[in-house]
Amino acid sequence: MAETIFTKIIDRDIPADIIYEDDEVLAFNDINPQAPTHFLVIPKKPIATINDIAAEDAELIGKMYLAAASIAKEMGFEQNGYRAVMNCNPDGGQTVYHIHLHVLAGKAMGWPPYQDALKQDLP
């Protein structure tokens, strides 16, 4: 897999506002926040997309959610709530090909998440 900007963040080759780290997972604030709180939880293991998650990665993916929930509790927004979302490939809006869980909080999120949602567009 080609190296991404997130590998450089893991390796401390470029700076990031890191808010959580353990042996397998790293979390840092998004450089272009889409909510009052917006951070990314990534595995240190480079996995390009959701489609590339192997069965052996199941526990690692669970640890990403555990980290997200732990940070939410620490930051105090776990009861108000938040959105945790992973984009996949172009239609999903993925731009960095190292999986990451977006965690957005601090305001009520809309649904559906896309602006041009019209019932007639749906199958």
Active site residues: 100
Out of 16, 26, 67, 105, name the contact with ligand 5GP by CB under 6 A.
16
In this structure, what token pair is assigned to residue 8?
């450089």
Partnered with residue 105 across adjacent β-strands are: 37, 82
Between 79 and 95, whose beta carbon lies closer to ligand 5GP? 95
79 contacts: CB under 8 Å, gap ≥ 6: none
Peptide bond into 112 cis (omega under 30): yes
- Residues 71 and 122: their CA atoms lie apart, in Å, by 36
The mark string for 24-43 relative to ligand 5GP (x by CB under 6 A, - otherwise) is ----xxxxx-------x---
Tokens of 62: 């669970």
Q: Where in 30-100 does DSSP place strands (E)?
A: 37-43, 82-85
Q: Minimum distance from CB of 120 to ligand 5GP (Å)?
A: 27
User: What gap in Å lies between CA 70 and CA 20, rounded to an integer?
Assistant: 10
Tell me how far, at minimum, the Cβ of 10 lies from ligand 5GP, in Å: 12
Q: Binding string, 76-115, against ligand 5GP, x = CB under 6 A? A: -----------x-----xxxx-------------------
- C-beta of 29 vs 80, nearer to ligand 5GP: 29
Based on CB atoms, which residue is closest to ligand 5GP, 5 or 60?
5
Residues that bind ligand 5GP (CB under 6 A): 5, 16, 28-32, 40, 87, 93-96
